[in-house]
C-alpha cells in the first residue's frame, strides 16, 4: 500500500469518528435541552421525561459507536486493501 493510500485511509477514519462524534454531541445537547425545558414546564413529569431522555441518549450514542467501528474497519480490516494494492 502506498503512503498516499495509507494517508487517505487514515484521513477517512479520522473523518468517520470526527463527524460521528460531532453529530452525537449536537444530538445529545439538543436532547438534554429539550428534557430540561420539559421538566421546567411540567415538573410532575420528571420521571417520564428522564426515562425517555436516557433512552434517546443511548440511541444517539450508538451513532458515535458506529463511526468508531467504521474507523476501525478502515484502519485494521480495510475492505479496499486488494484494490489499493493493485
Instruction: State the average pLDDT over residues 27-56.
Output: 94
pLDDT tens-digit profile of 2-16? Answer: 788 888 888 989 999
**Position of cell 421525561?**
49
CA 54/CA 48 separation, integer angstroms? 10
CATH number of the structural domain 20-77: 1.20.20.10
pLDDT attached to residue 76: 86
Instruction: Tell whether the model's pLDDT for residue 29 goes beyond 90.
Output: yes
Query: The pTM is what?
Result: 0.76
pLDDT tens-digit profile of 56-78? Answer: 999 999 988 999 998 888 888 87
Any idea where the domains of the chain sit in the sequence?
A: 20-77
CA 29/CA 21 separation, integer angstroms? 12
pLDDT attached to residue 48: 94
CA 36/CA 41 separation, integer angstroms? 9
Amino acid at each position: 500500500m502506498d503512503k498516499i493510500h495509507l494517508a487517505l485511509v487514515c484521513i477517512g477514519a479520522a473523518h468517520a469518528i470526527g463527524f460521528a462524534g460531532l453529530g452525537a454531541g449536537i444530538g445529545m445537547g439538543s436532547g438534554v435541552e429539550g428534557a430540561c425545558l420539559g421538566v421546567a414546564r411540567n415538573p410532575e413529569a420528571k420521571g417520564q421525561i428522564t426515562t425517555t431522555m436516557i433512552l434517546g441518549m443511548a440511541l444517539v450514542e450508538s451513532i458515535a459507536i458506529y463511526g468508531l467501528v467504521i474507523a476501525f474497519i478502515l484502519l485494521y480490516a480495510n475492505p479496499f486493501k486488494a484494490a489499493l494494492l493493485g
